[in-house]
Amino acid sequence: MTLDNYNLEFARMPGAMPAYRADVNAIEWVAACRHAREEGGGLVALWGSERAAGFAAHAALATGSGLVIVTMPLAKERPEYPGIEEIFPAANRMQRAAFDLIGILAQGSADRRPWLRHAAWSANAFPLRSDFNAVRDHETGVDRYAFVPVAGDGVHEIPVGPVHAGTIEPGHFRFSIIGERVLRLEERLGYKHKGIEKRFAGMTLVDGARLAARVSGDSTAAYGWAYAMAVEGLCRIALPARALWLRALLLERERIANHLGDLGFIGNDAGLSFGLAQFSLLKENMLRLNAALFGHRYLMDAIVPGGVACDIAQGGMAQMLVEADEIEKTVTLLKSIYDEHSGLQDRLLDCGTVAPPLAAQLGLRGLAGRASGQAFDLRVQFPPEPYDRLDVRMAKSQAGDVAARVAVRFEEVFESLRLMCKIIESMPSGGVRATPGVIPPNASGVGWVEGWRGDVLVAIDTGADGRIARCHAHDPSWQNWPLIEHAVINNIVPDFPLINKSFNLSYSGQDL
């Protein structure tokens, strides 16, 4: 792959996925981002790292050729790089987080408010730097975050969170309203920051797999596969075919279980508690079978570098086929109830709309993106084995409202059930785990997997000792949270829980 106007050649990264990388200067950094945007691509992730000679800024870009990673080396003093939020608006929060964590500054950014710091560490201290001292640099003080004010006759503010009455994770939502109509919503997240990226440093590639699976508890298969893909690429590990098919099976089971849970909670938030009861029962039965067959309800540690942790006997395959038939019949009935329930449809239709042009401009990802006309699914565009033989049918809509996100979920449940059955029926024989290869020093690997919420990325760099020097995990919630601020405008305050649940984004998955 090349960026012809700049004579810039991208090197192919090892691994089954089409991924390329290049070190760039400031002009090439911006040009690569513009090129990706112009050909319909998007920003997958942006992060920073520390090097012996200074620092570096990294951007992962989705392009028609695959994943492109551009790295811009930065000086030790005044590490700055061109901000790209005018090209990709979703970059803003990532740039702010990169500054909070490692101190690299995006030039030209209009919004430099802290995103992750929350007065938990000193303003001139950066947790991902090698000289950071958690005891010395700890700071307890008042966090005076500059929320954007909205003024006018009859305008009021409603602050919600960060601590909520339910069991959801912490996040602050500040509504500016007239009556019950929402004029503006501003989010503040980062309350779940837990130092995962710092914890990765110095770990072995094998031990790091357990931490990667715990980045986001509802996406353990997606993160496990993305991490394993990165390790297998940099170590050049060839996987047994059966292991790849079992990974696809695990990923689809994770997708089904999450959609079942969300369909129930969306119904409940719209006043149909019957839906919550029915979908919760389906999800619970599925999680119990996960525990019986794979050792964990949420498939924790089932995917490991080199393959999968355990095989499944024929009896287990038969159980999953019976389960798939039962789920399909019940979900078909529940879909007809949801579709015909006038009170429910009145809440879902034209609620929380994200029009396709806005979704494209702001980079909406995953199922929410597909519900707003963004036809992107890694299982279709860049299918890893065995998806290249499964002919995935992408669910999508142009409507962009809560009803569309519900419809996409229903379609994806049915499609994942079909895929699960096809995987089981086509499962090859053989081993399920390859012998780990030689771990190269100072090497890089990347994994990119379509999780149930959207595309998950894991990028790994090893040090001179072959251990992890830097591991960056990226959740699609980074791109999607800002869209909720737009989706809620001109809706009423009581619709916010419904709109929020229709996206069901991760708090802790992005607060690393």
Instruction: Name the β-bridge partners of 460.
Output: 445, 471
Asked if residue 437 belongs to a domain, the reply is: yes
Dihedral sign (CA 509, 58, 384, 310): negative
Asked if residue 112 belongs to a domain, the reply is: no
Instruction: Name the β-bridge partners of 304.
Output: 307
- What local confidence, expressed as pLDDT, does residue 314 receive? 87
Q: What's the CATH code of the domain at 44?
A: 3.30.460.80
Look at the chain and report how many structural domains it folds into. 2
Short-list 508, 491, 433, CA closest to 185: 491
Q: How far apart are CA 403 and CA 158, in angstroms?
A: 26
Say yes or no to pLDDT of 308 above 60: yes
Q: How far apart are CA 471 and CA 200, in angstroms?
A: 6
Report yes or no: 461 and 443 within 8 Å, Cβ to Cβ. yes
Instruction: Give the tens place of pLDDT for each residue, 41-82.
Output: 999 999 999 998 899 999 999 999 999 999 999 999 999 999
Asked if residue 181 belongs to a domain, the reply is: no
Report yes or no: 68 and 61 within 8 Å, Cβ to Cβ. yes
Residues across the chain: 512
- Residues 101 and 216 placed together within one structural domain of the fold: no
- What local confidence, expressed as pLDDT, does residue 95 receive? 97
Cis peptide before 149 (omega within 30 of 0): no
Domain range for 16? 2-107
- Which residue is it, tokens 């005076």? 144
User: What phi, psi does 140 have (nearest 5°)?
Assistant: -115, 115
Q: Which residues contact 332 (CB under 8 A, 6 or more apart)?
A: none
Going by the DSSP 8-state scheme, the letter that residue 494 receives in this structure is: G
Among the candidates 72, 107, 142, a domain finishes at 107
Among the candidates 107, 122, 146, a domain finishes at 107
User: In this predicted model, which residue has the larger pLDDT, 121 or 263?
Assistant: 263
Complete DSSP assignment for 137-158 = TB--------PPP--STTEEEE
Among the candidates 107, 134, 149, a domain finishes at 107
- Of the pLDDT bands very low, low, confident and very high (cuts 50, 70, 90), residue 5 is low
- What local confidence, expressed as pLDDT, does residue 2 receive? 62
For the chain, what percentages of helix, strand and coil (3-state, to nearest 5) are there? Answer: 40, 20, 40
- Which residue is it, tokens 């919550």? 276
- Of the pLDDT bands very low, low, confident and very high (cuts 50, 70, 90), residue 3 is low
Q: What is the mean pLDDT of residues 9-21?
A: 88
Q: How far apart are CA 13 and CA 443, in angstroms?
A: 10
Six-digit token string for 450: 């379509």
End-to-end CA distance of the chain, in Å? 32
- What local confidence, expressed as pLDDT, does residue 253 receive? 98
Asked if residue 189 belongs to a domain, the reply is: no
Between the alpha carbon of residue 258 and those of residues 21, 57, 336, 421, 435, the distances in Å are 33, 34, 20, 18, 32
Asked if residue 122 belongs to a domain, the reply is: no
Instruction: Give the tens place of pLDDT for each residue, 408-453.
Output: 999 999 999 999 999 999 999 999 999 877 889 999 999 999 999 9
- Residues 338 and 466 placed together within one structural domain of the fold: yes
Asked if residue 120 belongs to a domain, the reply is: no
Instruction: Give the tens place of pLDDT for each residue, 310-361.
Output: 999 889 999 999 999 999 999 999 999 999 999 999 999 999 999 999 999 9
- Residues 78 and 214 placed together within one structural domain of the fold: no
Instruction: Give the tens place of pLDDT for each residue, 187-241.
Output: 999 988 888 999 999 999 999 999 999 999 999 999 999 999 999 999 999 999 9
Q: Which residues contact 224 (CB under 8 A, 6 or more apart)?
A: 209, 212, 213, 299, 301, 302, 303, 304
Six-digit token string for 300: 């924790």
Instruction: Give percent above pLDDT 70 in the chain.
Output: 99
Q: In a 3-state reduction of DSSP, which class is residue 78?
A: coil
Instruction: Give the tens place of pLDDT for each residue, 18-37.
Output: 999 999 999 999 999 999 99
- What local confidence, expressed as pLDDT, does residue 143 receive? 80
- CA dihedral (380, 381, 386, 392) in degrees, to 10, reads 10
- Residues 220 and 75 placed together within one structural domain of the fold: no
Dihedral sign (CA 128, 124, 163, 147): negative
- Residues 401 and 283 placed together within one structural domain of the fold: yes
Asked if residue 472 belongs to a domain, the reply is: yes
Q: What's the CATH code of the domain at 292?
A: 1.10.645.10
Q: How far apart are CA 261 and CA 368, in angstroms?
A: 16
Short-list 213, 146, 165, 157, CA closest to 184: 157
- What local confidence, expressed as pLDDT, does residue 102 receive? 96
Q: How far apart are CA 215 and CA 218, in angstroms?
A: 9
- What local confidence, expressed as pLDDT, does residue 136 receive? 80
User: What phi, psi does 455 have (nearest 5°)?
Assistant: -80, 130
Six-digit token string for 320: 């999953």
Q: What is the mean pLDDT of residues 482-486?
A: 97
Beta-sheet pairing, 19-23 with 66-75: parallel
- Residues 266 and 402 placed together within one structural domain of the fold: yes
Asked if residue 45 belongs to a domain, the reply is: yes
- Residues 429 and 299 placed together within one structural domain of the fold: yes
Q: What is the mean pLDDT of residues 271-295?
A: 97
Q: What is the mean pLDDT of residues 370-389?
A: 96
Query: Over the chain, what is the mean pLDDT?
Result: 94
